[in-house]
Structure 1
């Protein structure tokens, strides 16, 4: 059976300045040369996975937006969008608590720019996405897989309660970034769906991650690998902890399992 390796992006394949170690580039090349699948598996929406240098690493497919957008060899296999009513409910709750938000979809990212004056993330989005960044206006029908938000001083448990059980919410510490999506969908569910489509056995799955939204993925696959620079919650969920991203973490992790 063919083995499949799933890679988170931020803090795993590249650092938070989007620098990709040379050893990571070499490792991905060797992995695919050896006949194994390599997949991106990210909380980012597909519209925010555009970097030529990232895609140039060579991937067989993409699991994006916490499992709600799946591609294989350029073909879309699965897409789950929030309904207009779901989006309206989430926006109402977040605005009630004065929480700035970003709506993330397969083609566009929507942001209420007045809530993000000189925010570094929105500046990055403007530079990276260009015309793929849109403003939130009125009650338009948006194509959205998930949302991200800045918690600030809001009560996270109250927000969770008001959103209701229809949605899952991941809190990234210590920066207070929220990810909100449909309950029951995650990187793990995306991996499961993709593997079912391709006939990949669970015992042949591996994943690299570094943060809270990687936990389900690291626990689901047969071999979860946390980056040495990752959070404690990711490391606790992993079978193996490799070295830091800039200390050949991807190379060493793949080498540990005999994949390169």
Structure 2
């Protein structure tokens, strides 16, 4: 791996792209800022709940990525972290919660698996968001896969609280901005935990770490860097955590913050 003087971690949804303002890929002004940041010796790293597959529109512009809310990380093509849910535990969750009218997706870095009964839902989902159906595949329970993260879609409002209570010692649960969705990773696996490991592996001290985020699942990441930057329209939890704030994605908030920090 290269030697970097520091690293900047970028959340993706709500930070680099923004559904509210219909920004689906990194803007030219933000790309300019990232290139200048890299030219100045800093690693520019994605840090997202998404898998690598769902970051492919922009991942090539970065030096690496933390994905699936911290379950996986790679820098300069080298895998630094690959934490996955064991088969027995995965089967237990499916057996208990599939019968509660949920839709469970199972994420690897390349393919998202679904249960056979949910195929029509995922076909509809792909049409709705213009996603390639080949990114998805029916789960074959007899084949071992590195499932980095689960996402559960539920109808009954008590499912989320029941799951959190039942698996409090086993899983981390991160609620989506959209209602009735939440991400599931193993206990202790967060963006913040992954940032610490990546920084250690790169030999970068905390004061030379920066992070941009907007949502509750970015809080641990913002806490574990020297300077955490909250985006425009950030959540209340981010407002309580971030060291400084910038504008929205549409207003080129990342560019302006990096200028203010004299990183570009």
* TM-score relative to the length of structure 1: 0.90
Q: How does 1:1-260 map to 2 (within 5 A)?
A: 2-16=5-19, 17=22, 18-51=24-57, 54-56=58-60, 58-112=61-115, 114-115=117-118, 117=120, 122-123=125-126, 127-155=130-158, 156-173=160-177, 175-260=179-264
> Following TM superposition, by how much is the alpha carbon of 1:165 offset from its aligned partner in structure 2, in angstroms?
1.2
Aligned length: 257
Output the CA distance in 2 between the equivalents of 1:94 and 1:47: 26
CA contact (8 A) 2:126 2:132 kept: no
CA contact (8 A) 2:71 2:81 kept: yes
- Seen in structure 2, the aligned counterparts of structure 1 residues 116 and 222 have a Cα distance that, compared at 3 Å, is farther
> Following TM superposition, by how much is the alpha carbon of 1:119 offset from its aligned partner in structure 2, in angstroms?
6.0
CA contact (8 A) 1:90 1:163 kept: no
Output the CA distance in 1 between the equivalents of 2:226 and 2:192: 11
User: Higher mean Cα deviation, 19-28 or 248-257?
Assistant: 19-28
User: Higher mean Cα deviation, 42-51 or 6-15?
Assistant: 42-51
- Deviations 1:141-175 (Å, cap 9, x if unpaired)? 33201111223323121121223411111113452
User: Higher mean Cα deviation, 61-70 or 92-101?
Assistant: 92-101
Output the CA distance in 2 between the equivalents of 1:216 and 1:198: 19
Where structure 2 has 5 or more consecutive residues not aligned to the other structure, the ranges are none
- Deviations 1:172-222 (Å, cap 9, x if unpaired)? 345232010100011111111111111000111000111121111011111
SS of the equivalent of 1:6 reads strand
> Following TM superposition, by how much is the alpha carbon of 1:91 offset from its aligned partner in structure 2, in angstroms?
1.4
> Following TM superposition, by how much is the alpha carbon of 1:245 offset from its aligned partner in structure 2, in angstroms?
0.8
> Following TM superposition, by how much is the alpha carbon of 1:48 offset from its aligned partner in structure 2, in angstroms?
2.4
User: Higher mean Cα deviation, 124-133 or 75-84?
Assistant: 124-133
- Seen in structure 2, the aligned counterparts of structure 1 residues 120 and 210 have a Cα distance that, compared at 3 Å, is farther
Output the CA distance in 2 between the equivalents of 1:6 and 1:94: 34
- Seen in structure 2, the aligned counterparts of structure 1 residues 3 and 121 have a Cα distance that, compared at 3 Å, is farther
CA contact (8 A) 2:46 2:59 kept: no
